[in-house]
Structure 1
Amino acid sequence: MSTNKQRLLAVLVAAAGLTSIAPTAQAAEPWLVRVRALYLDPANKDDIAGADLSVDSKTFPEVDISYFFTPNLAAELVLTYPQKHDLSLDGSKIGTLKHLPPTLSLQYHFIPEGSVRPYAGIGINYTRFSSVDLPAGLDVDRNSWGLAIGAGVDIPVAKNLLVNVDVKKVQIRTDVSAGGSKLGEFRVDPLLFSVGLGFKF
């Protein structure tokens, strides 16, 4: 079993364990929808000899949906639309690609509702690369699975309305090939900063 699959299995086992030991009481408003502006800051690392690959940083909108199993324990699904990035080699643009990176996390909210509520979470990211436009013979693997860890805070401003600040570190990685032969791995591994509004119901 690959290292990534082992990590994902560990996340799923941990999530199942936390859910099974959690209190049975449910939050008064179990659904939380946030609309946020997200800034993606890529790590841009690779193990390809003689190359320095990078994608550009970007700000874009996203929506996340959370369901509270208990007043403290929630599952969060982060959604957006495919994001287009320039791919550069040694600082010069060589092509473009799009990525769609939904992320599912299990989060623990530390303080009772009605107060400023910090939280932390761990989850799974799946990224699908599409519309890959690169020089002839150069290609990337279309699928990426990786861990996602994050933390944030919800700040109530009115009944069932809150301001949210969130940061996540996500594994997004793809194999790069030329003429069908693997050259190495490109690790986007972005840090994601977001701020927005949340609505409970």
Structure 2
Amino acid sequence: MKKSLLAVALLSTLSTGVLANQAGDILVRGGATMVSPDSAKAGVALDGAATPLSISVDDNTQLGLNLVYFFDSNWAIELLAATPFTHDVVLHDPSGVTESVYGANLDGAKLAEVTHLPPTLSALYYFNTGTAFKPYVGVGVNYTIFFDEKFTPTPDSVGFDNLELDGSFGLSAQIGADFELSKNWSINVSARYIDIGTKATFDLNDPFNVGLEGKGSATVDVDPMVYSVMLGYKF
């Protein structure tokens, strides 16, 4: 009987207001964040004319950080930050154009590396569950800045140069949940979609005098899913 009363008391503690978010609470989280871009390939144009080439961007995982400020038990604002993400850009050449021109097939080759930061500001709505499990939904706005864009040695040696990617504004949407381990500590999981689109431009020189040169471009819809698992501390 005593064990049953103790179990009831513990469950009651988990559903009391001491675990509820309150106005002025600040939640700091840190953990792993993976950016998984849309797998669709972006066509490459040269001097505005379409080519058989296309590119895609791979996944990357970094340290994710975010800060949440609560206006009341339901509404909060969240800032997502992270250490810079670096993605491989892969070249796709199913028709073998690069082999016929350069004598080397670059299909599936790592064309370049790009680094970016995707800070995102979101409004969150927490659902009242009366327990330590606190699910939420959110919408926000993102600005992604790209930097340190560079071609890898093989593409660079055949004339690819001066890679640049434009910054991107876009909306985001997410679902997530905190599970409170104690009054201050919690574990968070979340998944969000971010609308990121950028235009990549580059120069294609003609080191082999084959008549293939000009200004290249590709419109890349990165549009990643962003997954996070974090440990949080509430002040």
Q: Which of 160, 163, 172 in structure 2 is aligned with 1:148?
A: 172
Cα deviation for residue 116 of structure 1 reads 0.8
Single out whichever of 146-155 and 106-115 deviates more from structure 2: 106-115
1:163 maps to what in 2? 187
Using the alignment, how far apart are the partners of 1:70 and 1:187 within structure 2? 36
2:84 maps to what in 1? 82
Q: Determine if the alignment matches structure 1 residue 92 to structure 2 residue 126.
A: no
Cα deviation for residue 118 of structure 1 reads 0.6
Q: Deviations over 1:7-51 (max 9, x none)?
A: xxxxxxxxxxxxxxxxxxx81551011112112211143254423
The alignment's TM-score, normalised by the length of structure 2, stands at 0.68
Q: CA RMSD in A?
A: 2.1
Q: Which of 163, 184, 191 in structure 2 is aligned with 1:139?
A: 163
Q: Determine if the alignment matches structure 1 residue 36 to structure 2 residue 31.
A: yes
Provide structure 1 residue ranges, at least 5 long, that are not aligned to the other structure.
Answer: 1-25
The alignment's TM-score, normalised by the length of structure 1, stands at 0.79
1:65 maps to what in 2? 67
Single out whichever of 135-144 and 95-104 deviates more from structure 2: 135-144
Cα deviation for residue 174 of structure 1 reads 0.8
Using the alignment, how far apart are the partners of 2:39 and 2:162 within structure 1? 18
2:217 maps to what in 1? 183
Q: Determine if the alignment matches structure 1 residue 193 to structure 2 residue 188.
A: no
Instruction: Name the larger-Rg structure.
Output: 2
Q: What amino acid does structure 2 have at the position aligned with 1:85?
A: H
- % identity of equivalent residues: 35
Single out whichever of 39-48 and 186-195 deviates more from structure 2: 39-48
The 5-angstrom pairing of residues 112-127 of structure 1 reads 114-127=131-144
Using the alignment, how far apart are the partners of 2:187 and 2:229 within structure 1? 8
Q: What amino acid does structure 2 have at the position aligned with 1:142?
A: D
